Amino acid sequence: MSGNTFGKLFTVTTFGESHGPALGAIVDGCPPGLPLTEADLQRDLDRRRPGTSRHTTQRREPDRVKILSGVFEGVTTGTAIGLLIENTDQRSKDYGNIKDQFRPAHADYSYHHKYGVRDYRGGGRSSARETAMRVAAGAIAKQYLASQGIAVRGYMSQLGPIEIDFQSWEAVGENAFFCPDPERVAELEAYMDQLRRDQDSVGAKITVVAEGVPPGLGEPVFDRLDAELAHGLMSINAVKGVEIGDGFASVAQRGSEHRDEMTPEGFLSNHAGGVLGGISSGQAIVAHLALKPTSSITTPGRSIDVHGNPVEVITKGRHDPCVGIRATPIAEAMMALTLMDHLLRHRAQNADVSVATPVLR
């Protein structure tokens, strides 16, 4: 209820501050009998890990995850899975001035009003560091989904002003940007290099796609699959917008253009992004998310302190100039967690259902 849990049947509850001793999660509801090792989780954690290129924060966290329960002799037992990542790169530093000041566009000011107290070291609970546990938990969901023929993958579709067309999944894995077009990577690198010289940051757009999803996932009327995806994706730090399928482009479309016609050979288009009436249609689920530019820049900004006095704030430290660059594995995790939860929810109520109607793709 205090927001540290995601999902209803396949649930993930997390804890941990950026500068505390550890991050952790409890994954509950995982079906028993699923082969699972720490290496399965580490793969995605390594994709999210900071410090792997010059374009992300130079903070170095190995993000080594341990499975503390719920797995026995290499398979899940159906009981709660405890996960732990110890924080190692906690530089001792002087937080004296940050303690009583609010960094503009950070959570400092809103957390202060909410709780009265806060762990001001590196953002505490509001730090994007918590997303490490999302990725670890998401990897468990991905593992089960894969066993059902469902693949969840994402890529960067825009960096600042640079729009990127999808070329191939292979390309995505071969650069630090999750860029799906190998010919655009040099342009992205040049842009980022200039950005750092400008001491500024920039936003990004990420696209996530789930293929192989059976028709029928999602619950009318409030827990439609698209509504739950929007919830999960918007809960990622810095996300300011979510689209399913054509999203905001639908506003200017006509019905005769938007509707995805069907033939026995399949759907003729996928403007809907794989969701009809809030329920998966069997087509690929497609979502886009907008990430704002991080506010942790060294250009001074106007703000106030806890007493209401004006101050000038410079956010030093090791920050990502574009948080979107490392966001792809996080977005994949949130989509995987949402689909996993809905797979179980659908199964609970509708396990007996079988129809003769063919599944279109």
- Point out the annotated binding site: 48, 54, 125-127, 237-238, 277, 292-296, 318
Please enumerate, by residue number, every residue annotated as part of a binding site for FMN. 125-127, 237-238, 277, 292-296, 318
- Residues in contact with 359: Cβ distance below 8 Å, sequence separation at least 6, in sequence order: 214, 215, 282
Phi, psi of 221 (to 5 degrees): -110, -20
Q: Are 135 and 329 in contact (CB under 8 A)?
A: yes
CA nearest 269: which of 250, 290, 242?
A: 250
The footprint of its own copies on this chain (CB under 8 A) covers a number of residues equal to 168
Provide DSSP, 46-112. Answer: HHH-TTSSTTS--------EEE-SSEETTEE-SSPEEEEEE---------TTGGGB--TTSSHHHHH
Binding of its own copies at residue 303 (CB under 8 A)? yes
Q: Are 201 and 195 in contact (CB under 8 A)?
A: yes
* Least distance from its own copies to the Cβ atom of residue 222, Å: 4
Site for its own copies in 262-281 (CB under 8 A): 262-264, 268, 271-273, 275-281
Sign for the CA dihedral angle at 86, 88, 91, 92 comes to positive
Q: Which of 37, 97, 194, 309 binds its own copies (CB under 8 A)?
A: 309
Task: Give the nearer residue to its own copies in terms of CB position, either 111 or 155.
Answer: 111
Distance CA 259, CA 253 (A): 10
Give the largest Cα separation in the chain, rounded.
69
Stretch that binds its own copies, among 41-49, 88-96, 182-190, 346-354 (CB under 8 A): 346-354
* Least distance from its own copies to the Cβ atom of residue 168, Å: 23
Site for its own copies in 133-162 (CB under 8 A): 158, 160-161
Binding of its own copies at residue 39 (CB under 8 A)? no
* Least distance from its own copies to the Cβ atom of residue 187, Å: 15
Binding of its own copies at residue 2 (CB under 8 A)? yes
Binding of its own copies at residue 165 (CB under 8 A)? no
Report residue 229 as tokens: 């995806």
* Least distance from its own copies to the Cβ atom of residue 173, Å: 23
Compute the CA torsion angle 224, 14, 152, 67 (nearest 10 deg): -140
Tell me the one-letter amino acid at 88. T
Task: Give the nearer residue to its own copies in terms of CB position, either 159 or 171.
Answer: 159
Site for its own copies in 74-133 (CB under 8 A): 75-82, 84, 102, 104-119, 124-126, 130
Q: Are 74 and 36 in contact (CB under 8 A)?
A: yes
* Least distance from its own copies to the Cβ atom of residue 213, Å: 11
Q: Token match 């192989």: residue?
A: 212
Describe the crossing of helices 225-234 and 328-350 by its angle, rounded to 10 degrees. Answer: 150
Distance CA 61, CA 85 (A): 10
- Residues in contact with 33: Cβ distance below 8 Å, sequence separation at least 6, in sequence order: 75, 76, 78
Site for its own copies in 200-259 (CB under 8 A): 200-205, 214-224, 226-235, 237, 239-259
* Least distance from its own copies to the Cβ atom of residue 54, Å: 18
* Least distance from its own copies to the Cβ atom of residue 329, Å: 16
Task: Give the nearer residue to its own copies in terms of CB position, either 80 or 185.
Answer: 80
Task: Give the nearer residue to its own copies in terms of CB position, either 59 or 346.
Answer: 346
Site for its own copies in 183-202 (CB under 8 A): 195, 198, 200-202
Please enumerate, by residue number, every residue annotated as part of a binding site for NADP(+). 48, 54
Q: Which of 143, 207, 294, 328 binds its own copies (CB under 8 A)?
A: 294
